[in-house]
Amino acid sequence: MAAKLVADCIFCRIIKGEIPSVKLLETATTFAFLDIGPLSEGHALVIPKYHAEKLHQVPDEFLAETMPVAKKIAAALGVDNYNILQNNGKLAHQEVPHVHFHIIPKPNEQEGLTIGWPTKQADPAKLRELASTLKL
């Protein structure tokens, strides 16, 4: 299973060693390193060695190790609270167009990820209708 990397992607260049990083772990399909603009100490990124902008574009074999690697990093950090975050597209706050997973320690109220969660009341009938249209 060969990596698919592109020349003009910052994360692909990190994987290839063209841009320095503080590597935490590397496997045949995954690369993990510390974020250079951390939200808190220990903020790390896990990226598949396959260039794709959105999660649904990455072959499963390049995703198989991402969560186990994220889990190892979270455990090694030894923090009680943390977020695992993955964004798809600019409107969803994705800054680098290469799929990546953030492991963000949340040591206190001020550091780490801060988000709002503007929930809405869902109509149960509309939820069932939506579920019936999804082709899973």
Catalytic residue among 43, 98, 100, 102: 100
The candidate with the shortest Cα–Cα distance to 82, out of 102, 53, 99, is: 102
Question: Burial, 55: exposed, middle or buried (Cβ in 10 Å; 0-12, 13-18, 19+)?
Answer: middle
Contact between residue 10 and residue 96 where contact means Cβ atoms under 8 Å apart:
yes
DSSP letter at 73? H
Q: Which helix (H) or strand (E) holds 24?
A: strand 23-26
The yes-or-no answer on residue 43 being catalytic is no
Copy the structure tokens of residue 126.
């509309």
What positions carry a catalytic annotation? Answer: 100
